[in-house]
Amino acid sequence: MKNIYTPADIERITEATIGSAAEIEAMAPAQQSREYERRAAFIATVGEQVAAEVEAMRAGREVLVFAGDGLCGAYALESALELYRRGCGVKVVLFNIGGNLLSADTVAARDRFVAAAPAGSLEEVVNPGPGCFEMPVLGKDKLVVDGIFGSEYRKPLRGGYQAVARYINESEAEVVSIDLPSGMTTDLSVGMVNRNIIHADVTLALIGPTLAFFMPENAELIGRWKVLPVAFDDEAMRRTRCTSRVLDARGVRSVMPRRSPVVSKADLGDALIFAGSYGMLGAAVLATRAATRSGCGKVTCHGPRCAFFVMQTAVPSAMFTTDGADADIQFFENPRDCDGVAIGPGIGTGDATADALGAFLKSCYAAKKPLVLDADALNIIAARPELLDFIPPRSVLTPHAGEFDRLFGAQNSHGTRTLMALEIARRYSIVIVLKGPKTLTVWPDGSILVNSSGTEALATAGSGDVLTGLLAGLLAQKIMPEIAAAIGVYIHGVAGRIAARTCGIQGTTAEDIADALGPAIDTILNPRPGGAQN
């Protein structure tokens, strides 16, 4: 699994690698000189890596480098110098507003570029006012390198910098950002205005991504991203304990159970799905079918009487029970003490169902039996918020953005939603699967696992019901709820990709995803060339 870093991690690792500029300024001249030489060597390495990436995508275009007054500007100037050495046509716009803002790193990088490049290759902007500076013409024939501000800058762009960002965004030039798109921050960028931030087509990160890289509202800012192979301080990297990671096939494979050749269905666990109501029996079929594909031994669906013939026909490998009500579920119980219990797909929100769910939650809370709660189960809890206190510890909630906001209050971005999910998971000691383009699994201890297998093929009605059934089946196999939630999301994504190969992205249905769960698990456990290798 790949690490996701906090802003504090990035700052600490950077300082351990090149030192603190403030501390260097306080040193004796001889020591100061040695430290700046160390910083210059590191900055040159970053410049070489950036230049290599830019040259690979240049395709004959002129490169225009925008450099700021800090560390990111020094990276940009060194990349411009390396591009020039490689024979690339490059021009630099260096922002030094007022004439005295450049850091020592940037001054040194500027002087190296000016000494090597032809006259006129660099324009230093001291006064951005009318008649003093005119933005260069940008179009499809230009490749822009954005090195104005990186992760060290933590304020919104203002004044002329806003105008520069908007001008670049409105041009047709391809944009490569160093470290971070200028104007974006390494936290969850709460409250940022995207039009005032440079929109990169490619972001060349240095240490690694932060959670902000995975927020849907930041997708147009980050574009594609890549971590440059720059060596940072080994000890600082080892000491960093990341609580957030990107989940990949290798990580899933390390915790997925494998069947013994002598196993029986009794050894593989028993899943119980509470699903369905009159007019919503498809949700019950999808969740139950998914559970049967999860690898567990037995699956039972509990639903209303009207579901009997539907379930026995659509999912004959599953058992069906009912409490006798014709149109909805009015009694919840777990007589076989199943380990994997899911509630919610299509159950409706009628009073009798809500009352019965409340009673069942309280009994499971007392018994400390985790549940999977989705769809209408979440809608019932949203309407009766007192039930939040009776969600059993380590239960798995699987809300999409709308369900989450109904439960915990409206959020204005996925970033604020993620912060709220962290708070709620800790407060109630539950697991939250925050569904989206990059689904996040939030653990009670504050860990976040970002799914890497998602696909737009999952954006189809009933896809969430499939995930719910899959999670119940994984819990039935006695996989820890935190682990089951994360790997279930990953398997679900792989199944979507497999289904889309046959049905196309637009044509994939939830039924296709459910039927692809078995091949998805096999692909992960037994990787083949072209399969899930990561």
What is the CATH number for 342?
Answer: 3.40.1190.20
pLDDT band at 211; cut points 50, 70, 90:
very high
pLDDT tens by residue, 82-116: 999 999 989 999 999 988 999 999 999 999 999 99
- CATH number assigned to the domain comprising residue 39: 3.40.50.10260
206 and 254 assigned to the same domain: no
Same domain (yes/no): 234, 304: no
Ranges 114-128, 397-411, 430-444, 456-470: which has the least confidence: 114-128
Are residues 513 and 455 both part of a single domain? yes
Residue 446 — pLDDT band, cuts 50, 70, 90? very high
pLDDT of the residue at 185: 87
Q: What is the pLDDT of residues 477-527, one digit of tens each?
A: 999 999 999 999 999 999 999 999 999 999 999 999 999 999 999 999 999
| Per-residue confidence (pLDDT) for residue 130, from 0 to 100 | 67
28, pLDDT greater than 70:
yes
**Helical pair 376-383 and 351-367, crossing angle rounded to 10 deg:** 90
pLDDT of residue 524: 97
On whether both 390 and 502 belong to a single domain, the answer is yes
Confidence of residue 186 (pLDDT cuts 50, 70, 90): confident
Q: Both 189 and 292 in a single domain?
A: no
Same domain, 146 and 274: no
Give the full edge-to-edge strand order of the sheet including 142-147.
122-125, 90-95, 62-67, 142-147, 174-178, 202-205, 224-227
Does residue 534 carry a pLDDT above 60? Answer: no
Residue 227: which H helix or E strand, with range?
A: strand 224-227
Number of domains in the chain: 2
**531 is a domain residue:** no
Same domain as 319, residue 185: no
Residue pLDDT, tens place only, 288-343: 999 999 999 999 999 999 999 999 999 999 999 999 999 999 999 999 999 999 99
Please name the residue that has the structure tokens 């000494």. 115
Same domain for 321 and 464: yes
Domain end marker among 187, 221, 241: 241
| 431 inside domain | yes
pLDDT of 285 higher than 80: yes
- Assess whether 268 and 336 both reside in one domain: yes
Residue 530 falls inside a structural domain: no
pLDDT of residue 21: 84
pLDDT at 221: 95
Q: Judge whether residue 163 has pLDDT over 50.
A: yes
- Three-state DSSP at 244 gives strand
Predicted confidence band of residue 530 (pLDDT cuts 50, 70, 90): low
The domain boundary, picked from 218, 241, 264, lies at 241
Q: Please tell me the predicted confidence (pLDDT) of residue 153.
A: 87
Q: Is the pLDDT of residue 532 over 60?
A: no
Q: Give the residue carrying structure tokens 């219990």.
A: 341
Residues 154-160: contacts with CB under 8 Å, at least 24 apart: 154/7, 154/185, 154/186, 154/187, 156/183, 156/192, 156/193, 156/196, 157/182, 157/183, 157/196, 157/197, 159/128, 160/97, 160/128
* Higher pLDDT pick, 189 / 480: 480
Is residue 281 within 8 Å of 296, Cβ to Cβ? no
- What pLDDT shows up at residue 189? 64
Instruction: Tell whether 144 and 269 lie within a shared domain.
Output: no
Whole domain around residue 143: which residue ranges?
Answer: 2-241
Specify whether 227 is located in the same domain as 359: no
* DSSP three-state, residue 365: helix
Q: Is residue 81 part of a domain?
A: yes
* Structure-token match 């039009």, residue found: 195
Residue 263 in domain: yes
Q: What is the distance between the alpha carbons of residues 373 and 381, in angstroms, rounded to a whole number?
A: 10
Q: How far apart are CA 131 and CA 127, in angstroms?
A: 9
Q: How many residues does the chain have?
A: 534
Residue 61 pLDDT > 50, yes or no?
A: yes
Of the ranges 23-27, 118-122, 134-138, which one carries the lowest mean pLDDT score?
23-27
Closest among 365, 400, 364, 361 to 384, alpha carbons compared: 361
**What pLDDT score was predicted for residue 8?**
92
Region class of 508: left (phi > 0), else alpha (psi between -120 and 50), else beta: beta
Domain boundary pick from 180, 215, 241: 241
My answer on whether 284 and 195 are in the same domain is: no
Q: Which pLDDT score, from 0 to 100, does residue 116 have?
A: 96
Asked whether 53 and 21 are in contact (CB, 8 A), the reply is no
**pLDDT of 533:** 47
- Domain presence at residue 534: no
Within 10 angstroms of residue 262's Cβ, the number of other Cβ atoms is: 6
